[in-house]
Structure 1
Amino acid sequence: MTRLDSYIFRQLALALLAVTIGLAALVWLTQSLRFIELVLDRGLSFLVFIELTGLLLPSFFAVILPITTFVVTLFVYVRLAADRELVVMRAAGLSQWRLSRPALGLAAITVGLCYWLNLDVVPATQAAFRAWQFEIRNQLAAILVQEGVFSSVGDDLTVYARYRDKDGTLRGILVHDARERGAPVTILAEAGRITPTPSGPRVTLENGQRQQVERVPPPAGSPPGTPATTRLSVLSFSENSVDLARTSRGEGDSRYRNAQERTLDELLHPDPADNVPERDLRRFRAEAHRRLTDPINTLSFCLVALATALTGQFRRHGGGLRLFTGIAVVVALLAAGLIAGNLAGRQNAMIPLLWLTAILPGVVAAWTIAGMPGLPRHRPRPPAADPA
């Protein structure tokens, strides 16, 4: 690498590092606001909050690296052009591709980093994040019960407590348990306490009633087609307990893993024992190809930035139209990528669109940097000779 290459590469690398970290911190801050309630209202420590939200950072980096690579490349080369540094480098005999070499080298490093994030780091961190989220939702129910609030534990269990004593005793408790299909149970109790057990938290209730709606089949000898009736069964108790960690499917700690937390091999070749629905199989295949094509966008966006900066004349107070055109192209490519991803998830026949939107812009930009060879050019007519 020559001194000129090192000079440009150093500016690109430092700017990419600063912009990527700053943008990732901004995205992390906005996304982590929804988890602050766990710290302020539900008793989780701040360290747990940092560890939980920190698992989201790799996915942020994987998404924003192609964008920040484009922004940094465009900014640095436009500044070099505005300061006439590119003019001096061209006068020294450097071609367009020679000027592009530092940016392409940085883009190659970023592509490798994106592949590492997409194929290895992001699935692992997403799996850890969702497992922790599942534990908070189903196993740490004790911290989710707030006084005066209907707290949902899972999809079919709701707990309400009018207030909580200083010793942790709950007063005025209502538990609605719909985990048994067709037989929902509502429990009212004067007091109760949540205690941890090896299988998860359990609430012990005192002095209450257990109300359950039961279906009663028609009596023997009834005419055919007689519908079943329902009745309300009420049972008073002095002490009862409800397991807050048991799920409606009786799966214990098992859960369904979505596409983001599966490896590439699991997406392309899912285990038949998982009984993945056909709809999810289509999404899995689309997600696998998205992971393979997204890093290519980094190189394509870099080439678009180089085509914008190297093929136009930028002045300190001019050249805004070409700059706006480059930004508009990348915004359109991002929108096209999102549309292609949605279409591929619904219909796998659209998966080639993911590869097309990732590769074609880079090919066109490289052709532009090379001077658009093969394009017919208008040649001025030679001046007519004077008649003798």
Structure 2
Amino acid sequence: MASASLFRHPLTRLDRYILRQVLVSLISVTLGLVALIWLTQSLRFVELIVNRGLSPFVFLRLTVLLIPSFVAVILPITTFVVVQFVYQRLAGDRELTVMRAAGQSPLALAKPTLILSMGVCLLCFWLNIWVVPSSFAAFREYQFEIRNRIAAFLLQEGVFTPIAANLTVYVRKRDQDGTLHGIMVDDERSPEDQATIIAEAGRIVPGPLGPRVILFNGTRQELDAKTGRLNLLTFSENVINLAETSSDADSRFRDDSEVSIHDLLHPPHDEVRAQDIPKWRAEAYRRLAEPLTVISYALVALASVLTGAFRRHGGLARPLIGVAITVSLVALGLAVNNVASRNSLWLPLIWLHAIAPGVLAAWLLLRRQRMRVPVSPPLAATGGG
């Protein structure tokens, strides 16, 4: 009851002071880490600009679509780091000493951070349930479109253009209407059916798996891997798929990262194999449970600083233990998600991992272990006359 009444009271000036420090630090650290992760992850898309001649706008659009997923992943960790750092600095500057001397209990000192962590938890719910799946779907759709339709504007006159690692196209001339002249295609996508195709003219047309080129008046040369003979085929018209793969495996299938919660819990039978159903359900549970780790990690940080024996100058033992516990929880979360994605019987562990550490840390904060400065016995009790 005391804890409930504590949260019904308006924020005091001391609460706003702590809340402001934690909030500013959280925004700064989160933005810094997101920028760092964005920079490292975006390096793999630089090849699209350097080697394939795409505009910086395409690069920016691709990488920006990944930012919501970065934020959703790092917010629980940055919340712990910021809470641990701010309260440890308050202890090092003896501000916690003054606050405790003024009668502030551990729960009262934790109140502004708990309010902030609840807000961050709601933000993570919004990201995990709506924003991240939508951004992932847009990212994969745009990536698929670039990868399989890029040949329409990559082909340049007089240049051997690598459409993929095993597909190279040369065009001698390209008219304004899109007609190609003097075409040579080196196709090694199938190890058993490697071919070199030469044609007088051609035209690029869209196809279900990506762009296709219709070749006119040419020859197809194939080397028989078994006999070593060179087979020569003359054609008046031939169609070649310019997508990175010539099989139907490159068709667009949704990944569990871009599917809604409803579809994850009720996977479409025509889209998901039976062995992948536990993986989809584990993803749904992870999205719903992961935001709760924000509160749990914040409580672990608070418990590591505000509980135990009181020291005027703070201490490093408990904060280091809190860091070790949180690192172990992050690693344990990865293991739990991996196990649950293989067997649905372990799905409750996802909730247990998200909630149990916070419950234990909250219990430690609620214990009546308020350390007070010892008071000297009154003079009357000494018997002096």
Q: State the TM-score, normalized to the length of structure 2.
A: 0.80
Q: Does 1:262 align with 2:259?
A: yes
Q: 1:329 to 1:194 in 2, by over 3 A?
A: farther
Q: Specify the alignment match of 2:167 in structure 1.
A: 159
Q: Specify the alignment match of 1:354 in structure 2.
A: 350
What pairs up with 1:1-388 in 2 under 5 angstroms? 1-142=11-152, 151-152=163-164, 158-161=166-169, 172-176=184-188, 178=190, 184=193, 186-189=195-198, 195=204, 197=206, 200-205=210-215, 208-211=218-221, 234-237=232-235, 240-245=238-243, 248=246, 255-274=252-271, 276-311=272-307, 313=310, 319-371=315-367
4+ residue stretches of structure 1 with deviation over 6 A?
Answer: 162-171, 190-194
Gaps of 5+ in 2: 1-10, 370-385
Q: Specify the alignment match of 1:381 in structure 2.
A: none
Q: Tell me the amino acid that sits aligned with residue 202 of structure 1.
A: R
Q: 1:245 to 1:277 in 2, by over 3 A?
A: same
Q: Kindly state the Cα deviation for residue 137 of structure 1 after the two structures are TM-superposed.
A: 1.6
The 2-side partners of 1:144 and 1:327 are apart by 50
Q: Kindly state the Cα deviation for residue 284 of structure 1 after the two structures are TM-superposed.
A: 0.3
Q: Tell me the amino acid that sits aligned with residue 366 of structure 1.
A: A
Check whether the contact 1:69–1:301 (CA below 8 A) recurs between aligned residues. yes
The SS at the match of 1:234 is strand
Q: Tell me the amino acid that sits aligned with residue 277 of structure 1.
A: R
The 1-side partners of 2:198 and 2:368 are apart by 79
Q: Tell me the amino acid that sits aligned with residue 34 of structure 2.
A: A
Q: Kindly state the Cα deviation for residue 185 of structure 1 after the two structures are TM-superposed.
A: 6.3
Check whether the contact 2:200–2:216 (CA below 8 A) recurs between aligned residues. yes
The 2-side partners of 1:350 and 1:130 are apart by 30
Q: Tell me the amino acid that sits aligned with residue 167 of structure 2.
A: V
Aligned residues: 349
Check whether the contact 2:163–2:169 (CA below 8 A) recurs between aligned residues. no
Q: Tell me the amino acid that sits aligned with residue 305 of structure 1.
A: A
1:166-203 CA-to-partner distances (Å, cap 9, x unmatched) read 9897765312465xxx9946242277766354765333
The 2-side partners of 1:192 and 1:37 are apart by 30
The SS at the match of 1:346 is coil
Pick which of 144-153 and 52-61 moved more: 144-153
The 1-side partners of 2:203 and 2:36 are apart by 38
Check whether the contact 1:206–1:238 (CA below 8 A) recurs between aligned residues. yes
Q: 1:137 to 1:372 in 2, by over 3 A?
A: farther
Q: Tell me the amino acid that sits aligned with residue 119 of structure 2.
A: I
Check whether the contact 1:177–1:186 (CA below 8 A) recurs between aligned residues. no
Check whether the contact 1:282–1:346 (CA below 8 A) recurs between aligned residues. yes
- Identity among equivalent positions (%) equals 48
The 2-side partners of 1:190 and 1:107 are apart by 65
Q: Kindly state the Cα deviation for residue 240 of structure 1 after the two structures are TM-superposed.
A: 4.1
Check whether the contact 2:163–2:244 (CA below 8 A) recurs between aligned residues. no
Q: 1:314 to 1:21 in 2, by over 3 A?
A: farther
Check whether the contact 1:289–1:351 (CA below 8 A) recurs between aligned residues. yes
Q: Kindly state the Cα deviation for residue 234 of structure 1 after the two structures are TM-superposed.
A: 3.1
The 1-side partners of 2:222 and 2:193 are apart by 6
The 2-side partners of 1:148 and 1:372 are apart by 76
Check whether the contact 1:43–1:143 (CA below 8 A) recurs between aligned residues. no
Q: Kindly state the Cα deviation for residue 141 of structure 1 after the two structures are TM-superposed.
A: 2.8
Q: Kindly state the Cα deviation for residue 371 of structure 1 after the two structures are TM-superposed.
A: 2.8
Q: 1:192 to 1:357 in 2, by over 3 A?
A: farther
Q: Specify the alignment match of 1:224 in structure 2.
A: none
Check whether the contact 1:11–1:76 (CA below 8 A) recurs between aligned residues. yes
